[in-house]
């Protein structure tokens, strides 16, 4: 018989090793799943993790796409992690991502066909505001009425999805689209298009903002008083109150930051790689970013590498669907396994396994 014994202090070894162990366990479990589906597990894992980077045929296309896929995950993950470290659980980043795309993209389309330099910057600002406004609903309800922010933020995702469907079929539908759902394509409107800055590397403004977010978040968490308050509130809420930290204010600030970053991600995606506001525009980045945040140990640099890894699974998953005929749900399950094994491995950071007497 075995039992878990609380460690006096968290294990630094397991804190560093658990993400690696989780990735390896995911590869093994995912390989078994692919084998049950009738595919060669080694070939499937190779296509997901190796071919997008090193295959002579797919690599030249897939390597630039790595930054494109990772940028929204990193942006959203940074915002979520700052709240998670304070014990504030925003699970509805997908809804904030959608609303940022709708509001920011809608502002740009309102100026069509005007060509002016201020249109895209205004879209970016409105995209961030859209995410912030949507995030304020669970924040205010939590701060004022002590509602469950997990439940409220999650339910608002489905409200945002219905608004997205309504907009793509109604107010924002392309009047020249012959009745097909979806807005105008931003690639046909240069003033509102998030075009590549360095096409060979897949760098657009979303990638630039993600890099800036990593640097700013690292500085804030390490040197700014806000970062100190976040850490203190997460580690000891009682001590935080004695130190003058106001939980209600921190809840609102955390949701503002995470909502703004998710809104930015939505705007950069819809005006760039996404191309247009459609009913199926959202691709689950808001939920996948939760995996990225925990895989990165809730640290900015760790989230950068976690976003690149999950971005690789998106690209490799698309290749696996094309080459092996794997269903898209299998790739989503593969990504979910990573969070499951990461949380399981994290148990060893705070507990050790002992033989029961």
* pLDDT tens-digit map of 114-166: 999 999 999 999 999 999 999 999 999 999 999 999 999 999 999 999 999 99
- Give the position of tokens 């001590």: 239
Distance between CA atoms of residues 140 and 146, nearest Å: 9
- Cβ–Cβ under 8 Å, residues 326 and 44: yes
pLDDT at 69: 93
Domain range annotation of the chain: 67-296
* pLDDT tens-digit map of 179-235: 788 899 999 999 999 999 998 888 999 999 999 999 999 999 999 999 999 998 988
* Rg (alpha carbons) of the chain, rounded to whole number: 21
Distance between CA atoms of residues 16 and 21, nearest Å: 9
Say yes or no to pLDDT of 4 above 90: no
pLDDT > 90: percent of the chain: 62
Long-range contacts of range 173-182, CB-CB < 8 Å, 24 or more positions apart?
174/276, 181/278, 181/279, 182/276, 182/277, 182/278, 182/279
Distance between CA atoms of residues 307 and 68, nearest Å: 11
pTM for this one?
0.93
* pLDDT tens-digit map of 236-272: 888 888 888 888 999 999 999 999 999 999 999 999 9
Mean pLDDT, the chain, whole residue set: 91
pLDDT at 107: 95
pLDDT at 311: 93
* pLDDT tens-digit map of 300-318: 999 999 999 999 999 999 8
* pLDDT tens-digit map of 137-150: 999 999 999 999 99
Say yes or no to pLDDT of 28 above 90: yes
List phi, psi (to 5°) of 319.
Answer: -65, -40
Mean pLDDT score, 9-32: 88
């Amino acid at each position: 018989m075995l039992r878990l014994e609380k460690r006096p202090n968290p294990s630094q070894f397991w804190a560093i090793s658990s993400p690696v162990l989780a990735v390896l366990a995911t590869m093994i479990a995912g390989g078994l799943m692919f084998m049950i589906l009738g595919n060669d597990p080694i070939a499937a894992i190779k296509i997901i993790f190796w071919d997008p980077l090193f295959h002579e045929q797919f690599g030249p296309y897939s390597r630039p796409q790595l930054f494109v896929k990772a940028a929204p995950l990193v942006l959203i993950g940074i915002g979520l992690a700052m709240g998670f470290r304070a014990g504030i659980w925003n699970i509805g980043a997908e809804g904030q991502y959608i609303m940022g795309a709708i509001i920011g993209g809608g502002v740009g389309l309102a100026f069509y066909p005007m060509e002016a330099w201020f249109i895209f910057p205004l879209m970016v600002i409105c995209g961030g505001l859209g995410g912030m406004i949507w995030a304020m609903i669970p924040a205010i309800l939590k701060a004022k009425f002590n509602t469950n922010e997990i439940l409220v933020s999650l339910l608002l995702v489905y409200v945002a999805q219905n608004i997205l469907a309504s907009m793509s079929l109604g107010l924002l539908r392309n009047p020249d689209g012959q009745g097909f759902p979806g807005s105008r394509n931003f690639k046909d409107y240069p003033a509102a298009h998030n075009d590549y800055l360095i096409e060979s590397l897949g760098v657009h403004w979303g990638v630039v903002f993600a890099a800036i977010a990593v640097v700013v978040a690292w500085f804030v968490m390490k040197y700014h008083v806000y970062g100190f308050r976040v850490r203190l509130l997460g580690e000891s809420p009682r001590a935080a109150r004695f130190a003058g930290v106001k939980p209600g204010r921190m809840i609102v600030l955390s949701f503002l930051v995470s909502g703004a970053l998710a809104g930015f991600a939505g705007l950069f995606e819809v005006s760039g790689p996404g191309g247009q506001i459609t009913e199926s525009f959202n691709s689950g980045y808001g939920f996948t970013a939760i995996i990225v945040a925990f895989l990165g140990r809730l640290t900015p640099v760790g989230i950068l590498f976690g976003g690149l890894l999950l971005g690789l699974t998106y690209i490799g998953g698309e290749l696996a669907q094309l080459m092996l005929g794997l269903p898209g749900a299998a790739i989503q399950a593969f990504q979910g396994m990573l969070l499951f094994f990461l949380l399981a491995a994290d148990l060893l950071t705070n507990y050790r396994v002992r033989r029961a007497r």
